[in-house]
Amino acid sequence: MLLAVDVGNTLTDLGLYDGDKLLFQYKTRSDTSKSYEEYLASLTIFLESRKIEAKIVDSGIISSVVPSLESLWKKLFREFFGVRALTIGPKLATGIKIDTDNPKEVGADLICDAAGAVAKGLTPCVIADLGTATKVILVDENGHFAGCTIGTGLAVGLNALVHNTAALPEVGLAIPKKVLGKNTRDSMNSAFTYGTAFEVKGLADAIEKEAGYPCKRVLTGGYSEYVQPLLGDWTYDRTLLLEGLVAIYRRNEK
């Protein structure tokens, strides 16, 4: 079975696949302060809770935007699963042509999102990946990564606002019933939920106009659940990046 691991700045997303079937998806916090032993203990406890033996994992692939955690997960695969995992990088064939000024600077997560969209027949499309950063990506009619916008993510923006003001409280993300807040909590939440939805819609419209043809709209990423109800006409796909990892693994497994 294949274990696909996406290491983001905030969350690490794991998917165990039997062929192309997702058996489970598990998210944990990406924490560079935790030791290898702590990660190993957490992973062991989780697998035992699902009654999954490590020996059933016979292959792996890693996408990471955190170099230190990429090394840690490669070690976990080697020493715990006995597997040499593939990692997304310049030497791995992804099947995605990167049509940008400097392809080497395009993050592994963006490439995997594009690979997932191509594998699922969603192109051409605009992908909004809401994570630590809010990324809005164009995968063009040829299935190429054609560029993106990168901005502040919901949680990062909210934390910055709270910690750089004297009177605003910490709030949990939630969609208020109305855009116009009548109290501080709703006013802050409105800006981050409705504001992100409007940002994503506006960018998608502008990107589609620049592309010159209609594009499907796809929503994914760890914070996408907080705005998904406001983007009901978008395709919500919580496993898009993992599916991209699986597609890339299949391309390289021989």
Sorted by where each begins, the domain ranges of the chain are 2-87, 103-244
Structure tokens that stand for 149 in this block: 């916008």
Tens-level pLDDT at each residue, the chain (254 residues): 999 999 999 999 999 999 989 999 989 999 999 999 999 999 999 889 888 899 999 999 999 999 999 999 999 999 999 999 999 998 899 999 999 999 999 999 999 999 999 999 999 999 999 999 999 999 999 999 999 999 999 999 999 999 999 999 999 899 999 999 999 999 999 999 999 999 999 999 999 999 999 999 999 999 999 999 999 899 999 999 999 999 999 999 86
Output the CA–CA distances (angstroms, integers) from residue 114 to 3, 73, 148, in the order listed. 19, 23, 11
Topology of the domain comprising 2-87: Nucleotidyltransferase; domain 5 (3.30.420)
Give the number of other Cβ atoms within 10 Å of residue 138's Cβ.
25
Positions marked catalytic: 109
- Please state, in angstroms and rounded to a whole number, the distance separating the CA atoms of residues 4 and 18: 11
Cis peptide bond upstream of 124, omega within 30: yes
Which CATH number is correct for 103-244, 3.30.420.40, 3.90.1150.10, 3.20.20.150, 3.55.40.20?
3.30.420.40
**Strand pairing partners for 216?**
125
Note whether 67 and 9 are within 8 A (CB).
no
Q: How far is CA 92 from the centre of its chain?
A: 19
Beta-sheet strands, E only, within 100-175: 125-130, 133-139, 145-152
Asked if domains 2-87 and 103-244 share a fold, the reply is yes
